[in-house]
Chains A and B, each alone.
Chain A
Amino acid sequence: MSDFGFKIALPGYDVKTATPEQCSLHSTYPHMKIQRPTGGVNFWNTANYVFSSSPALGTTTDLLTVTHGYGYNPASMAFVYAVTGAGSQFPIDSYMCLPASLGTGTVVQSFRCYADNNVFKIQFVVAPSGTPYDMTNTSWTFKYYIFVENGA
């Protein structure tokens, strides 16, 4: 395995002796990859969502669905950006990596994302009990990444 391959060292390192950590590319170690837009599917993108009303207790709302069609569960991750914010629960112009909850203490409302073998989803989950923030007319931006690599 060490007899062939392809290495590019980071600036300042000798490629002949550089460790994998000192390389920008080392063919023994594959990179996490995201497919370029294909067939109208964006595997890496931003999306906006405005709540027209506040989801009720005990509900799960799909905010974004992307059909990746891989046939396996890919790794994925996403960020939620508070365009208008949710008061002190999630201040304006702040952002979090999902899963992300509003407020502190007991989680009543949260954003989450996941991928199954066909779709990637960002959802808003409201616990069965508690005092939820009124999400009506709040605006959010998501940045999501659907990797080629397996998440399961």
Chain B
Amino acid sequence: MAGINDFGVRISRFGFDVKTAADFQLIFNSSWPALKIGLQGSFTWTAVNAGPDLVVATHGLGYNPVFQVFNAAGLPGAAYYNNTDFYVDNNKLYVSGFYGTPGNVYTVYYYIYRQSATQSYTSPNVSAVAMTSGGYGPDYGFKISKVGKSIYSTDLRDYVVHSGTQELTIAQVVTTNVNPAGSWTLTHNLGYKPAWLFFKAGSIANTTQAYNSVRTTATNSAITFTGAQSALFGIYSAVIFKDPVQSI
């Protein structure tokens, strides 16, 4: 049976030899997925006192997707990763009616990815040995522009992929039921302590909520999630990225 090194497409980061680059030094490897944007946009609303949950966006994917929401108004003129009070089902993204201070106007920017947050996935592992940049020139590369955008655009947002950029690629999506209450350890075997996104089953049936109140400890082969405010209990999902949180 052919292995992952026998065929496929790899693109290394600028200056790294594609044949020897570690997984986190690759921009693209056809053996694993990146965060593919299925839907993005902004949503503005006025918070009410414990009102009904609001629909932020309709994705219609038929599964609970990985998503991120950035708060565009919590700090003046700034955007930051907002990790609470948003959840998805298999059709929509919602914000809790308990969000914010009643009467205040909020704007968020959201991304819904073409990746299930609840269906397990494990990518193959390759080298985690960091290579030194070879200092190649910028005269060649790989880029695909979005439909309707010029391949000569200097705005990197106009591209589907661009070898002048780096991507967070997905090593694993794992879902588990933590019961009894406690922590959760999963094996990743990446060779470093990885970055992640974390989700939990929402209080409404069949929903998935962003959940950031977790502290992690990790080795080069496993990662443990512990509740920062209280012990984990229930169904959780972790998206593990092929990227170390420390320099290696």
Seen from chain A, the residues whose Cβ lies within 8 Å of a Cβ on chain B are 1, 6, 8-11, 20-21, 23-36, 44, 46, 73-77, 79, 81, 90-91, 93-101, 104-105, 112-117, 141, 143, 145, 148-152
Contacts and interface: CB of A to CB of B under 8 A. Distances in A.
Contact of B36 (A1, A29, A150): A29
30 contacts: A11-B8, A25-B30, A25-B144, A26-B36, A27-B147, A30-B159, A31-B161, A33-B156, A33-B162, A33-B166, A36-B13, A36-B165, A46-B245, A75-B68, A75-B70, A75-B79, A96-B228, A97-B212, A98-B80, A104-B228, A104-B229, A114-B78, A114-B79, A116-B78, A116-B79, A141-B245, A145-B168, A148-B165, A151-B79, A151-B81
A113 B216 CA distance: 19
Interface in B110-148: 111, 114-116, 124, 144, 146-147
Given A35-B156, A75-B79, A24 B28 contact: yes
Nearest to B41: A150
Given A11-B124, A95-B215, 18 more contacts: A24-B28, A26-B114, A27-B144, A31-B161, A33-B166, A35-B166, A77-B81, A96-B215, A99-B81, A101-B228, A105-B229, A112-B80, A114-B78, A115-B78, A115-B80, A143-B244, A151-B81, A152-B79
Contacts of B174: none
A107 to B, nearest CB: 10
A100 B81 CA distance: 11
B68 to A, nearest CB: 7
B49 interface: no
Contact of A36 (B34, B116, B147, B164): B164
A85 to B, nearest CB: 11
B14 A36 contact: yes
Interface string B182-207: 00000000000101111000000000
A28 B9 CA distance: 18
Counting contact residues on chain B (CB < 8 A from A), the size range is: 35 or more
Interface of B: 4, 8-9, 13-14, 28-38, 40, 42, 68, 70, 72-75, 77-81, 83, 107, 109, 111, 114-116, 124, 144, 146-147, 156-157, 159-162, 164-168, 193, 195-198, 212, 214-218, 226, 228-230, 243-247
B122 to A, nearest CB: 11
A97 B162 CA distance: 26
What are the nearest 4 A-B pairs in CB distance?
A: A151-B79, A152-B72, A114-B80, A33-B165
Given A75-B111, A152-B109, A24 B32 contact: yes
Given A21-B114, A114-B75, A94 B160 contact: no
B246 A150 contact: no
Contact of A8 (B9, B14, B35, B79): B9
Contacts of A114: 74-75, 78-80
Q: A-side binding surface: helix, strand, loop or mixed?
A: strand
A150 B147 contact: no
Contacts of B36: 20, 23, 26, 29-31
Contacts of A150: 40, 79, 109, 157
Given A1-B147, A11-B4, A91-B215, A25 B28 contact: yes
Contacts of B146: 30
A47 B12 CA distance: 23
Nearest to B195: A79
A110 B130 CA distance: 32
A27 B68 CA distance: 21
